[in-house]
Amino acid sequence: MFIIGIAGGSGSGKTTFVNKIAAQLGKLAGTGKSLPLSVLHQDSYYLPSPPSELKTHGKPNFDHPNAFDWNLLKSHLTSLRMGQKIEMPVYDFRTNRRVDETVPAGPAGAILVEGIFTLWEPSIRSLFDVKVFLNVEADIRFIRRLHRDISERNRSIDSIIHQYYETVRPMHHEYLEPTRQFADLIVGEETDLAAEVIAAKIWQVLQ
């Protein structure tokens, strides 16, 4: 079992990076073969309901490390490392709640875990064979987040800007940015080469 943790600020391109790794791994595996890969999105592991103690001006702070269900994530990663199947939760960003449905994941030879605080929790960080941090300029991350939240999460421009200044930006500086020190690999905006390298490493380990 080979586990890679991929962290980075909101809008840094983590999901896109994961997709690039999967695409490269698909090329190595050959057309028509199933990928020996499962992907866990940390966003799926938000607590079932917004934490009441984490509020800024009366609104939940979803950009604090304590907004996540670390125990469940660790339990699932441990199960996957043991070759077991898990049921990954599904989170609805329109209602800010988990839904009843789950998504099966694993077993697989390699696991990619992506999220803003993927490298935050020491006990989970220790499970990763490779730790990656996507380092992208703040203005680019904000623009990407703006487009995503409008098109995919039905949010207004004013609400996105308000949340960015109230929680996203300060939490990034206070909690997220320091986790960069734990990364084995820091990747900028050009992620194609890094995706090829990581895919090649996964393939090498699995062979």
Which of residues 29 and 14 earns the better pLDDT score?
A: 14
What is the per-residue pLDDT for 34? 61
Listed residue (50, 134, 64) closest to 98, CA to CA: 50
Q: Count how many domains the chain has.
A: 1
What value does the mean pLDDT take over residues 52-66? 79
Let me know: does 130 contact 58? Beta carbons within 8 Å. no
What value does the mean pLDDT take over residues 138-167? 86
Domain that holds residue 86: 2-206
Between vectors from CA 72 to CA 144 and to CA 154, what angle results, nearest 5°?
A: 30
What is the per-residue pLDDT for 181? 97
Q: 3-state class of 118 per DSSP?
A: coil
Q: Residue 20 belongs to a domain with what CATH number?
A: 3.40.50.300
Let me know: does 163 contact 67? Beta carbons within 8 Å. no
pLDDT in tens, 62-94: 899 999 999 999 999 999 999 999 999 998 888
Residue 59 has pLDDT above 90, yes or no: no
What value does the mean pLDDT take over residues 185-206? 91
pLDDT in tens, 32-41: 566 678 999 9
